[in-house]
Chain A
Amino acid sequence: MKLYRKEGNILQILSFPGETVEKGDYLLVEDADAGRALIAQVIDVQFASIPGVLEELLRSLPDGGELIKGEDVDPLEIAPHISYIQDASLLICKIRATAENDGLNPSTSWLPSRSQSTIKKLPLPTLLKLAKIDGKLPIVIGGTKDSSLLTIDATSLDGRLNIITGKKETGKSHLSKLLMVNLVGYKATVVVFDLNGEYLSLGLTGDGKRNANYDKIHVLTPSQNFKLALKQLNLHVMLGILIHALHLPGTSAREFRRIWIALKEKDSLTLHELGETIRNWNCNQHVRDALFSRYHALVNSGVFTDNIAEATSLEEFLLKTREQGGAIIMNLRNTSSIDRQIVVEYILGKLVECLSSSKLKAVFLFAEEAHLYLRETYWDDIVTRMRHFGIFTTFVTNQPDTIRENIYRQADNIFLFNFTNEHDLDVVSRAARVDAETVRSIARDLPPHYCLALGRAVRDFPIVARVKALDVKTMGETRLFFASSVGQ
């Protein structure tokens, strides 16, 4: 390999046949005299612009486009040299850091010698060691191309905003399960908004037996094993549900507040009493109608109950996870859009309540396709206010444009799976810790189950890894019409 050109933080390196370098590989451009080396990542492999190649290709085609056949008497064996030159490739590399005095610095301001520099592939284990991508709480993401393991530190997710994104069926949920299981293993509290029921069997191995996490995985399904008594709710949580999930107007919300306070004073906060009170409340008929319609929405959701015995205490589940860690899976499968929003409003409100009263240290929240249940104002809340309370969110989506740009800008870690759509790649490349060329070039060619890890977890050295298999029972598979007939 030969150093050809440097423009900004882009290096162009000539590579010759036999030097197998692919996108995503790291190269070490070492200038022995300068006593330092550039660490650069290959983001694209192109044909080198060799003069005369076009003529070479054209002359093998006579009229009609069929290859002309013949014999080459080449006693000096020049032909292999022609192929050697013709097959030379140009590696477009992004400089990631400078290695100097056994350490790394992000400087790209110096120029290595073009004639004297040696260029070699930097094995990922060496890079991981140099960049100190390991840690005391390791999470093995998977295997890299050169058979080493990509291990990130669980602390790199702590207090951070993460995004897992990629096309459908590329392995996003698999990675989020992997992160989640590892976090639970390190005694963290995890809450998952499970839209497709994919996380329900995390406590079971692939063959259906209980695994080590069985007792730590709590699956809550609204209106089944997740019901709430009104007494468990704070007024501001209930108002949040009414205003944000059920779009109750301000005037009606004020009346509802009076009704709620009156019922609470009488210690009769039940659905039945709430209904009766709205019926008999002295207020404008339009307000009453508005309140009644929301009341019926609450009743029909099936989430609320007057039977204290069947009411679920989310706080209890959360406190259970405090010592040994655990995951609360909110199964939002088969839940209507409004009911989803009701549940999410309640849970986020409850989490903030528990965290602000220091009952919990912090919570890792995994939100799948959050745009389907997260209200507009929560996006900013989650990345700013709620983060300070200790809610550290991981968004999982196959529609990157549903996540707002400011979320990308503040994302600390991005786990990117394959995308081919330019628009999707454009959206992701807005992330502050990512350069657009890397995202566009590498993500487009990622095979299924391979992810490009970007950000703090990999010390800003984008690394491609095949996400390791997880021995948990697979759920959330798409129901297929032709599945049985194809198998026959």
Chain B
Amino acid sequence: MDTTLPHQFIELSIHSLKQAPDHAIQLNQQDIQQFDSLDIHDETLKLKLQPLPLIASRQEKIVAAVDTSTMKIGETSRGIMIAVRGATVWKQNKRYRYVRFGPFIFHVTEENKKQVYETLERTYFSSANEHGHQGAPSILQMPTRIASLLERWLQTMAAKTINNGLILFDGSLTAGTAETPTRRMKEILYSARKGDNVVLAFSKMTNLRANGHRITELLPDHKPPFLLETEGLRLKPPMVLLGEVYVARLTKGNLAFRLDIDRDVLPEPRIEAVERLLGNDLFAESYPETLRLAHILCTFTANEVLAMQHFVTRRFGLQFVNKPDMHRLLFGVFGKGEGYQ
């Protein structure tokens, strides 16, 4: 394969960056917003098609949700400029409240990535994780890793401060990955249980399949709300599943979600937790409003990206320059832009 031309473009790009080493280059919206957890394809997974019907319980409970978002807002000749933000939203006395943290902006380079990551870990958790010996993540992994750190910290705070509530996470309760160390997730779930809370994790997307079909697409003809149980899900070590996996179809409509509920909560209270969630939160397309708001509040808008670039320009004297879109340059109208890679 002749790679001369792309290489030449890259070389040209690198050369131009070297000419202006202090300039940041704006990316064409190559954002990494709202990362999703890694799902593992497991051939032993079975989905019980007998639904567990749910009845909304109006007994009042606090519903809290945590979510984070990260975005690459620019690239320098030595690294990347990333922004991270997290939000905790809770519903109490029929009103939603939120605390939003950030945006935090980091300039991550090869030279400082280890220091940045470890300092953040120590700042948030007073200790390095069990994967620390593997060294700092690559620059490309840094945005999600830093956002994960913030998310785990927010989850820890929610688990420690809320009592007798329902805590909603975005994603799954899979642990043992670099982003979600097992010990840390176990600590979070332990703290939550200690305060009589139940943790429920909603995955917007899942790749879990049973009999070759995505589990959220195998829905019985039953009136919602209901849950479907799964069994036989095995993960490759060191990954562990700290939640019991269900498929939740909570309202009318075509959507259903993978729902992980803390495995150390007994089966009956797990179902009760979902019923209380139904009675205490609003739902649109089977997705809880509290979690939706957490997601919305931490997502970066284009306006905010501009504002952060403005901040960096004003505070640090960096200038943003539009980076040429290689796809457009090479393929003209057939190049769909870098966002479509």
Chain A residues engaging chain B, CB cutoff 8 angstroms:
50-53, 55-56, 59, 62-63, 68-76, 78, 81-82, 84-86
Q: Does B101 contact A (CB under 8 A)?
A: yes
Are the CB atoms of A55 and B301 closer together than 8 Å? yes
Which residues of B277-308 are within 8 A (CB) of A? 282, 289, 293, 296-297, 299, 301-308
Q: A68-B98, A70-B98 are in contact. Are A75 and B307 (CB under 8 A)?
A: no
Are the CB atoms of B310 and A85 closer together than 8 Å? yes
Q: How far is the CA of A73 from the CA of B98 in the complex (A)?
A: 11
Q: How far is the CA of A62 from the CA of B305 in the complex (A)?
A: 23
Residues of chain A within 8 A of B125, CB atoms compared: none
Interface contact tally, CB-CB below 8 A: 85
B296 nearest CB neighbor, chain A only: A59
Our pick among B99, B299, B307, B314 for the contact of A71 (Cβ within 8 Å) is B99
Q: A72-B100, A86-B303 are in contact. Are A81 and B293 (CB under 8 A)?
A: no
Q: Does B9 contact A (CB under 8 A)?
A: no
Q: Does B103 contact A (CB under 8 A)?
A: yes
Chain B's nearest CB lies how many Å from the CB of A46? 16
B304 nearest CB neighbor, chain A only: A82
Are the CB atoms of B310 and A84 closer together than 8 Å? yes
Are the CB atoms of B99 and A76 closer together than 8 Å? no
Q: A81-B311, A84-B310 are in contact. Are A52 and B302 (CB under 8 A)?
A: yes
Chain B residues engaging chain A, CB cutoff 8 angstroms:
89, 95-105, 282, 289, 293, 296-297, 299, 301-308, 310-311, 314
Are the CB atoms of B303 and A82 closer together than 8 Å? yes
Our pick among A52, A69, A78 for the contact of B301 (Cβ within 8 Å) is A52
Residues of chain B within 8 A of A56, CB atoms compared: 301, 303-304
Chain A's nearest CB lies how many Å from the CB of B318? 14
Q: How far is the CA of A398 from the CA of B306 in the complex (A)?
A: 48
Are the CB atoms of B289 and A51 closer together than 8 Å? no
A88 nearest CB neighbor, chain B only: B306
If A59-B296, A59-B299 are given as contacts, then 11 extra A-B residue pairs at C-beta distance below 8 Å, sorted by A number, are A51-B301, A55-B301, A56-B301, A63-B289, A69-B95, A70-B98, A73-B99, A73-B101, A74-B102, A81-B307, A84-B307
Are the CB atoms of A68 and B293 closer together than 8 Å? yes
Q: How far is the CA of A325 from the CA of B297 in the complex (A)?
A: 74
Residues of chain B within 8 A of A81, CB atoms compared: 307-308, 310-311, 314
Chain B's nearest CB lies how many Å from the CB of A213? 60
Q: How far is the CA of A69 from the CA of B297 in the complex (A)?
A: 12
Are the CB atoms of B311 and A52 closer together than 8 Å? no
Q: How far is the CA of A81 from the CA of B308 in the complex (A)?
A: 7
Q: How far is the CA of A72 from the CA of B303 in the complex (A)?
A: 17
Our pick among B98, B103, B282, B303 for the contact of A63 (Cβ within 8 Å) is B282
Are the CB atoms of A76 and B282 closer together than 8 Å? no
B88 nearest CB neighbor, chain A only: A70
Chain A to chain B contacts (Cβ below 8 Å), 24 pairs: A51-B306, A52-B305, A52-B306, A55-B299, A55-B301, A62-B289, A63-B282, A68-B97, A68-B293, A69-B98, A70-B97, A70-B98, A70-B297, A71-B98, A71-B99, A72-B100, A73-B101, A74-B100, A78-B304, A81-B311, A82-B303, A82-B304, A85-B303, A86-B307
Chain A's nearest CB lies how many Å from the CB of B42? 36
Q: How far is the CA of A81 from the CA of B98 in the complex (A)?
A: 21
Are the CB atoms of A62 and B293 closer together than 8 Å? yes
Residues of chain A within 8 A of B301, CB atoms compared: 51-53, 55-56
Q: How far is the CA of A69 from the CA of B100 in the complex (A)?
A: 11
Q: How far is the CA of A68 from the CA of B97 in the complex (A)?
A: 6
Q: A56-B303, A71-B98, A85-B306 are in contact. Are A78 and B311 (CB under 8 A)?
A: yes
A75 nearest CB neighbor, chain B only: B104
Are the CB atoms of A50 and B103 closer together than 8 Å? no
Residues of chain B within 8 A of A70, CB atoms compared: 89, 97-100, 297
Q: How far is the CA of A78 from the CA of B304 in the complex (A)?
A: 9
Chain A's nearest CB lies how many Å from the CB of B123? 12
Q: A62-B96, A71-B99 are in contact. Are A76 and B311 (CB under 8 A)?
A: yes
Q: A59-B297, A62-B289 are in contact. Are A82 and B100 (CB under 8 A)?
A: no
Chain B's nearest CB lies how many Å from the CB of A73? 5
Are the CB atoms of B104 and A76 closer together than 8 Å? yes
Are the CB atoms of B308 and A78 closer together than 8 Å? yes
Our pick among B100, B296, B304 for the contact of A52 (Cβ within 8 Å) is B304
Q: How far is the CA of A426 from the CA of B311 in the complex (A)?
A: 45
Chain B's nearest CB lies how many Å from the CB of A90? 15
Q: A73-B102, A76-B311 are in contact. Are A51 and B96 (CB under 8 A)?
A: no
Residues of chain A within 8 A of B305, CB atoms compared: 52
Q: Which of B293, B299, B304, B305 has the most chain A CB within a 10 Å cutoff?
A: B304
For the complex of A and B, the 7 pairs showing the least CB-CB separation, nearest first, are A52-B301, A52-B302, A70-B98, A51-B302, A52-B303, A81-B307, A82-B307
Q: How far is the CA of A71 from the CA of B97 in the complex (A)?
A: 8
Q: How far is the CA of A78 from the CA of B103 in the complex (A)?
A: 7
Q: How far is the CA of A81 from the CA of B304 in the complex (A)?
A: 8
Q: How far is the CA of A82 from the CA of B100 in the complex (A)?
A: 15
Residues of chain B within 8 A of A63, CB atoms compared: 282, 289
Q: How far is the CA of A228 from the CA of B311 in the complex (A)?
A: 82
Chain A's nearest CB lies how many Å from the CB of B271? 26
Our pick among B97, B103, B105 for the contact of A69 (Cβ within 8 Å) is B97
Q: Which of A50, A62, A68 has the most chain B CB within a 10 Å cutoff?
A: A62
Residues of chain B within 8 A of A50, CB atoms compared: 302-303, 306
Q: Which of B102, B307, B314 has the most chain A CB within a 10 Å cutoff?
A: B307
B295 nearest CB neighbor, chain A only: A59
Q: How far is the CA of A50 from the CA of B296 in the complex (A)?
A: 18
Q: How far is the CA of A85 from the CA of B306 in the complex (A)?
A: 7
Q: How far is the CA of A378 from the CA of B100 in the complex (A)?
A: 74
Chain A's nearest CB lies how many Å from the CB of B89? 8
